[in-house]
Amino acid sequence: MKYVYCSASNSSVGCTEEILAAADLRVYLPLRGFADSLNLSVAAALVMHELFRLCPEAIGAMDEAERASLREDWFSRLAAQRIRTPDEARAAKERKRALTKVRHKLNRNTPRTPEVEARMEALRAEEARLKEEEEDATARALVRAKAAVAPFLSRPPATLRDMRRPDDHREAFVCHKIRARNKDNWAGMPAVKGSGGVVDEAWGELAGRKNTGEP
């Protein structure tokens, strides 16, 4: 199996000289109108779309072992975002907020007196503690997520050639407050009617495992 490596970078600094020297081809996307650059994700998507247009046999070209590994990793990451209890989610937000404050203090341009150095050392220790706590919490959530998605790995959904979702598979991931505020305006729309389908079924199973404490 042959692989194609595509590298992209932002418009201000670009790719490194090493990457440019190693590249077999440099691609420029012509622009129209007043735009002087494209969002990086948009540019990458356009390149990938053109590659698959030129080489349609590359679509989905991977062996079953690689496909299974990718599916397990992706399903687990998605589930890990939803598997945490409300208390765990609140604790994660508090850690993130505290970590942001600590890093903001560490990045201050303050004269390095002995007293400041002592405070900096304490802040670095606090940063390490918060990072370790979040890594541990994330690892525990990932273990539970992998157990929760195991049934979906043994019976994965069929590959879709047409990525436009049918109405019974549409679901808008908006919080309940926004959904309630727009209840009248969105009434009857497929994306918010809570019609079920694979999304509600999957998250329903995950929620059941989370609330009952099942692995």
DSSP annotation string for 177-191: HHHHHTTTTTTT-GG
CB 123, CB 98: distance < 8 Å:
no
Distance CA 173, CA 207 (A): 16
pLDDT digit string, tens, across residues 84-101: 899 999 999 999 999 999
Residue with tokens 């508090």: 94
Distance CA 37, CA 29 (A): 9
Q: Tokens standing for 42?
A: 């948009």
Residue 176 has, within 13 A of its CA and on its CB side, a CA count of 0
Residue with tokens 């995950």: 206
Model pTM score: 0.54
pLDDT digit string, tens, across residues 145-167: 999 898 888 888 777 677 776 76
CB 4, CB 51: distance < 8 Å:
yes
Q: Tokens standing for 83?
A: 């598997």
Distance CA 167, CA 101 (A): 44
pLDDT tier for residue 59 given thresholds of 50, 70 and 90? confident
CB 43, CB 166: distance < 8 Å:
no
Average pLDDT over residues 122-138: 94
Distance CA 155, CA 63 (A): 17
Q: What is the pLDDT of residue 196?
A: 42
